[in-house]
Amino acid sequence: MERRTFLVGTGAAALTAGLSRNAFAQEEPEKTKVTLGVGGKPLLYYLPLTIAERRGFFKDEGLEVEINDFGGGAKSLQALIGGSVDVVTGAYEHTIRMQAKGQDIRAVTELGRFPAIVIAVKKDKAEQVKSAADFKGLKIGVTAPGSSTALTTQYAMVKAGLKPTDAAFIGVGSGASAVAAMQKGEIDVISHLDPVISKLESDGDISILIDTRTEAGTRSLFGGSNPAATLYTTKDFIDANPVTTQRLVNAFMKSLKWLQTAKPEDVAETVPPEYHLGDRPLYLKAVQNSLESYSRDGIIPPDGMKSVMDMLQQLDPEMRDAKVDLSATFDGRFVKKAAI
């Protein structure tokens, strides 16, 4: 039997059998070159990815990871379905949507335990727009239509008695273009992430209405846990590349562990300078605001899965009667075996 075939046939079974934490430490990854899709890499939502890249955690695991940055999470999902990337760092909700469509997409690591999405109104409209109930007819800037920034806003609108279609959603990208869209008056409301939000807040351009960077803010909107960024891929990739998958998860778990004790200054020194949006002190503040949102153990809790499913069923008519086995949306075996 060829070595590759042997690994494919025994990798999953070995995990289930409960091998030691470093079971794959001596095994060669099936793929040493991996392509990864992400929708807005400079965003703090995806900070664990940049930390893994910049601090050499992928290389430590014997992997060469090529990162393709798309305009939003929906586009990176499309790249996975189309076969142009192997894995994605993206919102957990995409796994549920794909499972409902018969596509076996599974998260293998939770990166963000809170969405870290902030919804804010342009400062000069703050007197007229005081909650999501006032969003009807407005132009709302999001990273990309269909991404989690749009979904979260639509959920807030539905909770406030509006329809998801009562506002216009405009893709503004993930960095300086998003800041410019608000400052130029191209949008009335923005649903976005740090450092974009901290930049706009510091410049006095916005008034924050909803803030899910914290546990309190997340519970206020969703009523409980609401998992955010994950590492996800196809079941076919997992089955064919169990060692590679384990190595990827190891790298991300190292990132999460590093972030638990990192200071904002450590993060600022690690990421590319352009991520600071020209204002390092502001970036430090944005990091401080976001540190609470990252996963502590890489595990997506069952109540978090149900919270996201409930949100999708409220927003999407196609999901209303969908039957999804939520346990199939997250494969936690690799996190439990992660060698950190």
Is 218 contained in some domain?
no
CB 69 within 8 A of CB 40: yes
pLDDT for 21-41, tens place per residue? 444 456 899 999 999 999 989
Assigned domain for 134 exists: yes
Q: For residue 29, say if its preceding peptide bond is cis, omega within 30 degrees of 0.
A: no
**Where residue 175 sits, what CATH number does that domain have?**
3.40.190.10
Domain boundary among 211, 244, 279: 211
Q: Which of 160, 187, 211 is the last residue of a domain?
A: 211
Final residue of a domain: which of 180, 211, 242? 211
Tokens of 253: 């778990």
**Residue 251 CB-density burial (10 A; 0-12 exposed, 13-18 middle, 19+ buried):** buried
Q: Are residues 99 and 122 in the same domain?
A: no
For residues 86 and 234, membership in a common domain is answered with yes
In-domain check, residue 217? no
| Neighbouring-strand partners of residue 270 | none
Name which of 207, 202, 294 is nearest 254 in CA terms.
294
* Amino acid type, 46: Y
- 3-state SS class at 113: coil
Q: What is the DSSP letter of 124?
A: G
Mean pLDDT of 38-67: 96
Q: Is residue 109 located within the same domain as residue 8? A: yes
User: Sorting pLDDT into bands at 50, 70 and 90, what band is 146?
Assistant: confident
11 and 142 co-located in one domain: no
Give yes or no for residue 274 having a pLDDT over 70.
Answer: yes
**What global pTM score does this model have?**
0.84
Segment 196-217, tens digit of pLDDT = 999 999 999 999 999 999 999 9
Overall number of domains in the chain: 2
Whether residues 106 and 136 fall in one domain: no
Mean pLDDT of 274-299: 93
Which residues constitute the domain of residue 166?
118-211
Statement to judge: residues 108 and 255 lie in one domain: yes
Residue 219 forms part of a structural domain: no
Please check whether residues 43 and 76 belong to one and the same domain.
yes
For the chain, the C-alpha Rg in angstroms (whole number) is 20
